[in-house]
Structure 1
């Protein structure tokens, strides 16, 4: 057991060690400073702006920026939807796979445009190489880029002084993809290829089964390039149905380590970039401490639950290895489960449905907190900042003082936007769960009854509403009802909070900076860190404890 915690501690040390220089690099990219890549990528960037026209570099208001986000996302959605429907007549389809059904194509397009990567299909059986490489992989880049762009809009809102402009969406998206996501994905792809992750335009190959001596077909494809950005962009959608538990996506411990680091790398680096951007590294330190605290607590909880589960006798050498790859074991499987739900990644290297009740409860709760513990690329950090504003507002009510953060007063309009960001995923989780259970066919879509069946439903809608994409097994998800309901939830839970953040940034940017005084609440000391943790936990507990009591908590007490 101690060796598992030592391995996990080393992982976290390396993560922070890599995140610091990457955060400095991202800060320089987003403040348009000269970097090593400028000479190489600068001409490409200039030509992109020339192609896009004059609007590519003009400052935008909140209305213009939000409209650009929606227009670009709608265009991406329609393009991917058409591609999935017509893949049967498109090139690079050696298996001659037909197009998806309309409801499944809608769900998949909504999933990848919203950075959720919920998959109601097995990629090797449903998607051509063309759809995977030019449809899903492209969306993995741009959906992550949109999230990071909106984060920096919010940061500009804090740093602006009576200015309505928030930057330019097309410029932000271009720089994020060109200078950050593409170079990192190239490096990670090469590392994965070196470990045996598949990367080819060839289709399936025929071989002989070692066990039975029968002819079988092994699916191939452009796997490494998609896996790299699916992890770095906190997307998570697998090239194969088995996701990162499948050997062609994740062959060994080295590839597993690289992929797991990639899940948390950009979210952690953005916290560093945040501290530099607002010119106060202590603010970034506060968020890093809170995020690491939650992550470590969740990691310890899941690992202990899987190692000392109530239905296993550790004295006799029993522990919960069901649903886990033997090459990863409990330690790396627990670390991945926590990482993928702390960030809005959703990829898996073990079957979450086979975790103990408490081992499955913790990843579910991380999602239900709004995936602000590191969280998605960009979206996790602006979600955490929104919780900070809520904690400051509560503190202001307690002392009878107008709350302030980073020199800006937090007023009623700001709190309305904060409530939209926090409550939208929360309500959609509960509403989606309710609508599913009320469907007369719901029981026929469940593989398990009782508390575990309810846990599968609650986990699925926690995942959909928080743009995660992971799921417990046992729930039939490829039905027209689930595809339409799930796709609608993913779209609403992505773009309502995103637009609220943009308008919050605009309102903050119009305000004059307030000088720090003796009555200003410190947001960098231990007292505020404790208060922020309490606010986050209380919001999550009050919202989901009754539902949890019907699912994983009840199952835990029923387990012998």
Structure 2
């Protein structure tokens, strides 16, 4: 077997195998059962005491959401203050200046909503202080927020009838201390051994192989990179993210980081099964997600390893496949795997430039984010799938002439309205944003352009760059087609508002649906009950998801990625 293909297969097998026991452990943590990490209890009790929180106090879904939104509002103010004043704060050996208000708004919103879209370069756009006390801090908190929201939903569907869905603050702290922190320490240890810097010295002067002097940025990268991956955050410590040789030094670190991106989203699906005691439902959901993921991996690996047909027509050998924008030490296969892994989640980190991938690879990368349900971010990925389960249950119930039910609860008009709004919000903000940017590009280019220009590529690919930016924002992903000059007033503010709408409205809707269903009277299963843990229903859910995505996004892809593919 080709060694690159072997590496791809090994990484996928490793993720799937380890996700099962991790999911079982996560379920125990949220249920408050005994685990090996109970030594963290004194620290957790101290946190609750200092913050005046009673972790045993139950919350209804409205109280749960209120706590979630207040927390995020507080950290937004915190981040804005630090980013616009970072030039005068400590831990700044390179003398980096403050961010402008529009860039700080975009950065703060982006990291607060677990997107980590970066309209700056990490080496010059941040200081060590803000890397730690804004970026790394937010990467823990926002990931834990999504996990806490899913924990509340799991609790709501695990009981027959309840008015409460747990305690948000308890789930938040447990997510950090019992799951994110231990895994980050393991990954960080691997990175340090392999050469990722961990210190507070300024830029280092090195002599290149050509004999030239070059200044290389350093800093506490090994502390930040693990949570960037494990929390499906994705924000790079360095400007070129995990294609940087210090952020991702070797094939071993590449495997560890790629594994880190998907391990918790995969495990959270299994955790649902263990927590609610509905393993068949979890297996069904996991199977649909895994099928979609493997399909994307197969397409992208084939596209990137076979290279550009235009170069073949010129009689030029493409050793290693389409290597433009990729690192030789990693190869096209590993980059293709990463491109799918990072877009089926809301991670957004890259080990190669997506702007340079083949058109069909770009199509798959965007479709993953436009569908936004295949594993997704930690916690919120399954919650997006949950929205489509509600829609699929309703449609299936109407098709067979029965009242739609999910896990013993009737799905009625109120839940369907919320689910429909959540499902349609995603394509709405992406397509409206892309249409607006296209209009401004054609009629008012000075309004959106930066000093270095706006689009490096006109035509089909230029449209893809604009579509990708809003798709990445709406999916809380953060990756980009970097041919786009995005540090402008237009992109900073338009992307910022898309980020806010696409993060909080779905979470509010999904938690509301769970809370409303939890309050309803439980209906025991009968011969006429629609089973939602079968292969048939899994296929039905997949069809609903795909049809919504196809109807929403095929026209714009016909003018961008698909048109570019046929122009090769």
Pairing partner for 2:357 from 338, 345, 355: 355
**Separation in 1, partners of 2:53, 2:198:** 38
Unaligned runs of 5+ in 1: none
After superposition, residues 395-474 of structure 1 pair within 5 angstroms as 395-439=396-440, 440-441=444-445, 442=448, 444-474=453-483
Q: Deviations over 1:214-247 (max 9, x none)?
A: 3221100110111000000000000000100000
**Aligned partners of 2:281 and 2:534 also within 8 Å:** no
Q: Distance in 2 between matches of 1:385 and 1:6?
A: 34
- C-alpha distance 538-310 of structure 1, shift in aligned 2 (>3 A): farther
Give unmatched runs, 5+ long, in structure 2.
none
How far residue 135 of structure 1 moved from its aligned partner, in angstroms, is: 1.0
After superposition, residues 386-397 of structure 1 pair within 5 angstroms as 386-397=387-398
Match of 1:387, SS state, is: helix
Partner of 1:201: 200
Q: Distance in 2 between matches of 1:456 and 1:530?
A: 32
The residue number in structure 2 matching 1:291 is 289
CA shift for structure 1 position 56: 4.4
Q: Is the 8 Å Cα contact of residues 4 and 331 (structure 2) preserved in structure 1?
A: no
What corresponds to 2:155 in structure 1? 156
Partner of 1:35 in structure 2?
A: 35
CA positional deviation for 1:31: 0.2
Residue 78 of structure 1: aligned partner:
77
Q: Please state if 1:548 is matched with 2:557.
A: yes
List aligned pairs for 1:71-470, cutoff 5 A.
71-211=70-210, 213-308=211-306, 309-313=308-312, 317-318=317-318, 319-370=321-372, 372-439=373-440, 440-441=444-445, 442=448, 444-470=453-479
CA contact (8 A) 1:147 1:379 kept: yes
Q: Note the C-alpha offset of 1:488.
A: 1.0
- Structure 2 residue matching 1:234: 3-state secondary structure: coil
The total of aligned residue pairs comes to: 556
- Output the CA distance in 1 between the equivalents of 2:268 and 2:532: 18
1:13 — aligned with what?
13
User: Offset of 1:161 from its aligned partner?
Assistant: 3.2
The Cα shift of 1:7 comes to 2.8
State the distance in 1 between where 2:530 and 2:311 align: 49
SS at match of 2:214: strand
Q: Judge which range, 513-522 or 475-484, deviates more.
A: 513-522
Aligned residue for 1:311, secondary structure, equals helix
CA distance in 2, matches of 1:391, 1:486: 31
For residues 379-426 of structure 1, the C-alpha deviation after alignment (integer angstroms, 9 at most, x for no partner) is 101111221221111111111111112222211111122123222222
The answer to which of 449-458 and 506-515 deviates more is: 506-515
The alignment's TM-score, normalised by the length of structure 1, stands at 0.97
Correspondent of 2:512 among 498, 503, 507: 503
- Between the aligned partners of 1:247 and 1:413, the Cα distance in structure 2 is 51
Residue in structure 2 matched with residue 50 of structure 1 by the alignment: 49
- Out of 384-393 and 49-58, give the one that drifted further: 49-58
3-state DSSP of counterpart to 2:310: coil
1:313 is displaced (CA, Å) by: 2.5
Per-residue deviation, residues 349-401 of structure 1 (Å, max 9, x unmatched): 0111111111111011000002x111101010111122122111111111111
